[in-house]
Amino acid sequence: MKLSVTKNKLEIIESSILNRGEYKVTDCTFDFVSCYDGLVKKALFKNAKTGKTYEMPIIDNRCEVPAEVLMDKGACIIGVYAYNVNSESGELKLRYSPTPIKVTIDLGSYTSDIENPSNITASQAEQYEAKINNKLSEIDQTIKDIKESDALKGDKGDKGEKGDPGQDGAPGKNGIDGIDGKSAYQCAIDNGFEGTEAEWLKSLEGKPGIDGRDGTDGESAFAIAVANGYAGSETEWLEDLRGTDGTDGANGQDGTNGKSAYEIAMDNGFNGTESEWLASLNGRDGRDGQDGAPGLPGEPGQKGEKGDKGEKGDPGEPGPQGPPGRDGVCASVEIAQATGESETAVMSQKAVTDAINSSLGNVETILIELQSGSGTISKKGEI
């Protein structure tokens, strides 16, 4: 399997079939971009079923697929990270961690739960080894006997010409699978570790590294453009970066009509007619608000039209005593003036009586007019 590794992600260049139960069959080859040059590179393989992650060193841009992740059919997540540390202080200087990829492990023929598996036992291996060694000893002895036999020795001949290369021999048979080795946790137990596997994994975590030093400020994009041959002001350069407007996209299709608010209320448990639902939306009356501050005085209104004449008022209280009147003329003269008769004729008793009664009537009239405020007195004493 061949993978491409950029600064931000992994991609499969050449795929390979991964089967459950394989052991040291498939390896991964990585094609790194230049920013990974000189960095320490590690590959991570996560068994999606068990959730366990196995780390493999990447040497000469390749590594084997761990057999542990190939023990279950399903998904396998492959990731990569690379880093660099300060050789003197040991501080972390840089680390890349691109997005991993997911591959599928197919169902293979081998399974770990085979009854009576045909793994070679230690005693069987020793027997095979003893037989091989015996045969090798017999061959060595035969060769030695032939060399020591005088009957086979002749005169030393001339050196012969170099022969043609022989044909390649047939490929040998695949060796028998070896015994599964102990897990790292089991080896730790054998060497004195006490605790669960989770505690052992926790013990492998190192202390957090010291934060790296801040890098120097890089040049601006405009400065880099000028260094690469751009001729112009920064404003012109920014203007050059603007692309032309793209064509308008096609109008989207009309969406389906959504449900009414009443239908949504019914879907959420409301039970009743639409009129009852609308009535349920009316909230209770709020409390009366506080009185506002008094407003500013308004401007004077315009003068109204003249009103209708009012009814006649009640008579007023009598006024104070007026000053004494002027001396009057003789009664006979006044009677004569009132009747138009001569003074002599007036002097009769009946004439005097009538004149007095007439004068009293005039006085009463004068008093009434004075009380109402409408009377006036002439220079002669007339009303």
Contacts of 107 (CB under 8 A, 6+ apart): 19, 20, 73
Is the residue at 316 inside a domain? no
Among residues 81, 106, 131, the one where a domain terminates is: 106
Contact 33, 7 (CB under 8 A): yes
Is the residue at 368 inside a domain? yes
Q: Is 28 exposed, middle or buried (0-12, 13-18, 19+ CB in 10 A)?
A: buried
The reported pLDDT for the residue numbered 358 is 64
% of residues, the chain, pLDDT over 70: 79
Is the residue at 81 inside a domain? yes
The reported pLDDT for the residue numbered 179 is 75
The reported pLDDT for the residue numbered 382 is 44
Is the residue at 356 inside a domain? yes
| pLDDT greater at residue 24 or residue 326 | 24
Contacts of 379 (CB under 8 A, 6+ apart): none
Mean pLDDT for 328-351 is: 54
Q: E-strand spans in 220-286?
A: none
Q: Out of 175-179, 262-266, 308-312, 324-328, give the one with best mean pLDDT.
A: 262-266
- How far apart are alpha carbons 6 and 9 in whole angstroms? 6
The reported pLDDT for the residue numbered 360 is 60
pLDDT tens digit sequence for 107-141? 888 776 665 555 666 666 777 787 888 888 888 88
Is the residue at 133 inside a domain? no
Is the residue at 121 inside a domain? no
Average pLDDT for the chain = 79
Mean pLDDT for 179-208 is: 84
Among residues 56, 79, 106, the one where a domain terminates is: 106
Asked if pLDDT for residue 147 goes beyond 80, the answer is no
Among residues 68, 83, 106, the one where a domain terminates is: 106
DSSP 204: T
Is the residue at 325 inside a domain? no
**In degrees rounded to 5, what are phi and psi of residue 28?**
-110, 135
For position 67, which CATH number holds?
2.60.40.3350
pLDDT tens digit sequence for 263-289? 898 899 888 999 998 988 887 777 777
Query: Given its phi and psi angles, is residue 6 left (phi above 0), alpha (psi -120 to 50 degrees) or beta?
Result: beta
The reported pLDDT for the residue numbered 117 is 55
pLDDT tens digit sequence for 69-114? 888 889 999 999 999 998 888 899 899 999 999 999 998 887 766 6
Asked if pLDDT for residue 378 goes beyond 60, the answer is no
Domain residue limits at 361:
331-372
Is the residue at 302 inside a domain? no
Mean pLDDT for 195-207 is: 84
Q: Structural domain tally of the chain?
A: 2
